[in-house]
């Protein structure tokens, strides 16, 4: 009899910045909504329509609790990218042509939307300074505010190196100068307290699939949005009730379990970092290690090109060399360039992130696989063997 090879264990998932697995409780809530809420939530003439509308109201309240805003200020969008574009439309409607300041390490969704406004002649852009940890230089924000701005765009936490920004402090400086603010809280939601931020922000954005909810649903919280909001959402069509229910459930869980979850991922992230440091002498940890998302670990392994690592471990580990949208490209990401990370290090950069369902065994396996791959690549390079 031919012996069958034992099935390979599934890859360890260490790419939570790109997307998080959907929480089973979210899946249950979405399936229940699909089974029991057949009606269009706009069909409020009948009971089933009102039930669907009520499910949206509940979800909106759950999102509002996580964000710390009024439920009426929560608007559902297709994605966070969509929410960012809508926020910019609102700012344009409120102020006309915009003088905008943003960090060069913002997510490409923001950078592309801003550049598009610039090309259309609707905005002039001012790029704020960041240091080699991707941290905002507050002086550059104050200087830009003094020169005159209409809108400041700030991410609450970086999707590549995990740096967390002093957003509340920045927002109060903007508020003093009557400058509008757009906060991309897509990576920060469920990981840091958004309440002090939402109190000060004009527009705040988040995404379902970064908080163990479904993909293809986002939020724009716009507490001071004014009369243009209805115009901008008028063509939104029939709301996706199961996705909204899923997002609401994800927000409720994130709100209730944030403290426990942050402690869990922090412990695992530190175990991962310690395990790699122990075996890889010259490991470099990037980002602002004193102000970092608890699940985030961005490293460079000198002498070990990241494409060689991915080629060896891609079937065992899900990780990336940068932001999901930039990975696959040979160029260092715009974030690493803004940090002025030397090219030789940028070529070895790996973005790792643990999550709600990661275990200690997963982390230990990941360390074992990564260290093995790094050592094999280093010795192949020493012997001039292509790796
Ligand atoms: N902003 C940040 C910081 C992100 O990490 C992402 C996704 O990677 C986005 C915005 C865009 O999110 P979405 O995929 O919902 O458009």
Is 232 in the same domain as 220?
A: yes
pLDDT above 70: residue 1: no
Is 249 in the same domain as 279?
A: no
Which is more confident, 281 or 130? 130
CATH number at residue 43: 3.40.640.10
300 bridge partner residues: 284, 349
When pLDDT is cut at 50, 70 and 90, the band that residue 81 belongs to is: very high
Q: What DSSP character marks residue 21? A: P
* Catalytic one of 31, 251, 325, 387: 325
With the most atoms of ligand 1 within 8 angstroms of its CB, the residue from 20, 87, 207, 324 to mutate is: 207
pLDDT of 324: 43
Question: Closest ligand 1 atom, CA of 216?
Answer: 15
Is 208 in the same domain as 180?
A: yes
> Across residues 362-382, what is the average pLDDT?
96
- E strands, the chain, in order: 12-13, 74-77, 98-102, 123-127, 151-155, 180-184, 203-207, 218-221, 284-286, 296-300, 317-318, 349-353
Whether 11 is covered by a domain: the verdict is: no
With the most atoms of ligand 1 within 8 angstroms of its CB, the residue from 113, 159, 197 to mutate is: 159
pLDDT of 330: 57
Q: Which residues contact 367 (CB under 8 A, 6 or more apart)?
A: 272, 275, 276, 279
CATH number at residue 319: 3.90.1150.10
Q: Is the CB of 106 under 6 A from ligand 1?
A: no
pLDDT of 228: 74
For 267-290, give the DSSP string: HHHHHHHHHHHHH-TT-EEES-TT
Nearest alpha-carbon partner for 175 in 184, 186, 167: 167
Is 185 in the same domain as 161?
A: yes
When pLDDT is cut at 50, 70 and 90, the band that residue 64 belongs to is: very high
Q: How far apart are CA 296 and CA 19, in angstroms?
A: 13
Whether 4 is covered by a domain: the verdict is: no
Is 265 in the same domain as 232?
A: no
> For residue 353, what are the domain limits?
258-382
Q: Which of 227, 255, 283 is the last residue of a domain?
A: 255
Whether 17 is covered by a domain: the verdict is: no
> Across residues 206-220, what is the average pLDDT?
98
**Lowest mean per-residue pLDDT among 46-60, 66-80, 221-235:** 221-235
Is 266 in the same domain as 320?
A: yes
Both tokens of 71, joined, read: 């439920």
Whether 235 is covered by a domain: the verdict is: yes
Q: Is the CB of 80 under 6 A from ligand 1?
A: yes
Question: Whose structure tokens read 């079937």?
Answer: 315
Whether 137 sits among the annotated catalytic residues: the reply is: no
pTM for the structure as a whole = 0.95
How many domains are contained in the chain? 2
pLDDT of 236: 72
Is 229 in the same domain as 82?
A: yes
Q: Is the CB of 179 under 6 A from ligand 1?
A: no
Whether 330 is covered by a domain: the verdict is: yes
Is 29 in the same domain as 159?
A: yes
Is 232 in the same domain as 263?
A: no
Q: How far apart are CA 73 and CA 96, in angstroms?
A: 22
Three-class secondary structure of residue 218 per DSSP:
strand
Is 360 in the same domain as 305?
A: yes
Is 121 in the same domain as 209?
A: yes
Burial 255-281 (b: 16+ CB within 10 A, else e): beebeebbebbbebbebbbebbeeebe
């Amino acid at each position: 009899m031919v012996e069958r090879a034992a099935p390979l264990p599934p890859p360890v998932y260490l790419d939570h910045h790109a997307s998080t697995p959907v929480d089973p409780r979210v899946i249950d809530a979405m399936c229940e909504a699909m089974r029991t809420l057949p009606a269009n939530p706009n069909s409020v003439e009948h009971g089933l329509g009102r039930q669907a509308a009520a499910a949206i109201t509940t979800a909106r309240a759950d999102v509002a609790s996580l964000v710390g805003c009024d439920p009426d200020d929560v608007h559902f969008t297709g994605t966070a990218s969509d929410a960012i574009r809508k926020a910019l439309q609102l700012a344009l409607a409120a102020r006309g042509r915009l003088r905008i300041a943003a960090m060069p390490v913002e997510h490409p969704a923001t950078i592309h939307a801003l550049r598009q406004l610039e090309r259309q002649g609707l905005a002039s852009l001012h790029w704020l300074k960041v240091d080699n940890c991707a941290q905002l230089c507050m002086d550059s924000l104050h200087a830009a505010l003094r020169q005159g701005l209409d809108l400041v765009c700030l991410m609450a936490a970086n999707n590549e190196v995990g740096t967390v920004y002093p957003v509340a402090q920045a927002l109060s400086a903007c508020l003093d100068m009557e400058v509008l603010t757009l906060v991309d809280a897509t990576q920060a939601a469920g990981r840091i307290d958004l309440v002090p931020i939402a109190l000060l922000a004009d527009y705040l954005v988040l995404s379902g699939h970064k908080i163990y909810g479904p993909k293809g649903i986002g939020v724009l919280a716009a507490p001071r949005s004014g009369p243009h909001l209805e115009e901008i959402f008028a063509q939104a069509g029939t709301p996706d009730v199961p996705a909204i229910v899923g997002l609401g459930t994800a927000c409720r869980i994130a709100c209730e379990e944030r403290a426990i979850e942050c402690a869990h991922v922090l412990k695992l992230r530190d175990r991962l970092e310690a395990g790699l440091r122990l075996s890889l002498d010259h490991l470099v940890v990037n980002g602002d290690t004193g102000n970092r998302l608890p699940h985030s670990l961005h490293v460079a392994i000198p002498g070990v090109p990241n494409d060689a690592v991915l080629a060896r471990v891609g079937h065992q580990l899900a990780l990336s060399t940068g932001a999901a949208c930039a990975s696959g490209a040979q160029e260092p990401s715009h974030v690493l360039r803004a940090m002025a990370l030397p090219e030789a290090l940028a070529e070895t950069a790996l973005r790792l992130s643990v999550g709600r369902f990661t275990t200690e065994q997963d982390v230990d396996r990941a360390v074992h696989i990564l260290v093995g791959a790094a050592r094999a690549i280093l010795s192949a390079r020493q012997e001039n063997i292509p790796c």
